[in-house]
């Protein structure tokens, strides 16, 4: 974690994201309905899906922060990946409803000329989405939170879809009535793609993906600095949401007593936990050399 303020930001950012997405959804749907903009309504549905996923993420972050217990010795960190799967499901359903509605509009040839207010509303939504993206991206990166990073990606997608809606509105004003509906289709396809990516990220986290190679190198370097560690047979890691668990097997001279081996493994455990960020627990085993 780069700054001490990151922890506080990580606690408040998901709350702002939920309330912000809720207000954005209501705003876009209301203005889109009044002005007759299919693209803006579609973007509003996207924001509504974002709000629901933000709520799941907010709950997941609270659960993930619970300490280890006897029934959950590795903690509750993986709840963040489950929240990502839930968020992706909401986005997928939302994208389907947008796509079907756009196809109906093409079939019926019911194209309305969006009002000028839709342009202003889209610009405001674009700026707001980008601010939420930067906030969640910063907090999620510093805290290594997959849930907050997923929330940040949703806000980024919201910004990009707002650009598509804006271009569709401009096209409609320039004499291309289909442009706004085409923008709605583009939004739906983009949300489909994002929901699949988020789903795969959630699955990847649930099947015990390892930490980055740079972290493994750091664990190795810290271990070899400890007196008595003469080799490392294996290092296995698993990401548990914001934190990771480490299983390491170190080589110690067979001339060492049982007490000395115990003390060395204890020092390795304490040093790695102290010197490397993002480690929630570590199991240290020793083999004789």
Q: Give the span between the Cα atoms of 174 and 193, in whole angstroms.
A: 29
CA-based radius of gyration for the chain: 24
Map tokens 């204890």 to a residue.
Answer: 266
Domain annotation for the chain: domains and CATH numbers: 5-206 (1.20.1510.10), 213-288 (3.30.70.1350)
Q: What is the pLDDT of residue 158?
A: 75
- pTM for the complete prediction? 0.64
Q: How far apart are CA 196 and CA 39, in angstroms?
A: 22
Q: Quick one: pLDDT at residue 6?
A: 63
Q: 227-255 burial, b if ≥16 CB within 10 A, otherwise e? A: ebbeebeebebbbbbbbbbbebebebeee
135, two tokens? 């906030």
| pLDDT value, residue 4 | 59
Position 267 scores a pLDDT of 92
Give the largest Cα separation in the chain, rounded: 86
Q: What is the pLDDT of residues 54-91, one digit of tens each?
A: 787 778 777 777 777 777 777 777 787 887 788 788 77
Q: Is 32 within 8 Å of 39 (Cβ atoms)?
A: yes
pLDDT digits (tens), the chain, 289 positions: 555 566 666 667 777 778 888 888 888 888 888 877 776 787 787 778 778 777 877 787 777 777 777 777 777 777 878 877 887 887 787 778 778 877 777 776 655 556 677 777 778 877 877 887 887 777 777 777 777 777 777 777 777 777 777 777 787 777 777 776 777 787 778 778 878 888 888 888 788 777 888 888 889 898 888 988 888 888 888 887 777 888 999 989 888 888 888 999 999 999 998 888 878 788 899 988 8
φ, ψ of residue 231 in degrees (nearest 5): -175, 165
What single DSSP character describes residue 177? T
Query: Which phi-psi region, left, alpha or beta, contains residue 239 (left: φ > 0; alpha: ψ -120 to 50)?
Result: beta
| Res 249: pLDDT | 92
Structure tokens at 201: 């990220």
């Amino acid at each position: 974690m780069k700054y001490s303020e990151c922890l506080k930001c990580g606690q408040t950012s998901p709350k702002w994201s939920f309330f912000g997405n809720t207000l954005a959804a209501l705003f876009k749907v209301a203005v889109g309905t009044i002005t007759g903009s299919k693209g803006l309504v579609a973007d509003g549905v996207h924001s509504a899906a974002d709000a629901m996923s933000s709520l799941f993420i907010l709950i997941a972050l609270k659960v993930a922060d619970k300490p280890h217990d006897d029934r959950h010795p590795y903690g509750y960190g993986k709840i963040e990946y489950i929240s990502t799967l839930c968020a992706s499901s909401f986005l997928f359903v939302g994208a389907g409803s947008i796509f079907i509605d756009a196809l109906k509009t093409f079939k019926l040839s019911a194209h309305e000329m969006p009002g000028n207010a839709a342009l202003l509303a889209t610009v405001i939504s674009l700026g707001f989405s980008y601010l939420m993206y930067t906030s969640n991206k910063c907090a999620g990166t510093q805290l290594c939170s997959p849930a907050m990073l997923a929330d940040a990606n949703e806000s980024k997608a919201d910004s990009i879809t707002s650009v598509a809606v804006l271009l569709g509105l401009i096209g409609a004003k320039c004499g291309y009535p289909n442009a706004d509906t085409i923008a709605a289709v583009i939004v739906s396809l983009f949300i489909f793609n994002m929901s699949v990516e988020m789903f795969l990220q959630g699955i990847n986290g649930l099947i015990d993906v390892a930490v980055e190679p740079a972290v493994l190198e750091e664990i190795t370097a810290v271990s070899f600095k400890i007196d008595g560690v003469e080799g490392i047979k294996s290092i296995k890691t698993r990401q548990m949401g914001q934190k990771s668990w480490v299983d390491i097997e170190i080589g110690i001279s067979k001339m060492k007593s049982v007490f000395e081996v115990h003390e060395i493994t204890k020092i390795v455990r304490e040093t790695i936990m102290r010197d490397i960020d993002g480690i929630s627990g570590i199991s240290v085993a020793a083999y004789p050399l």
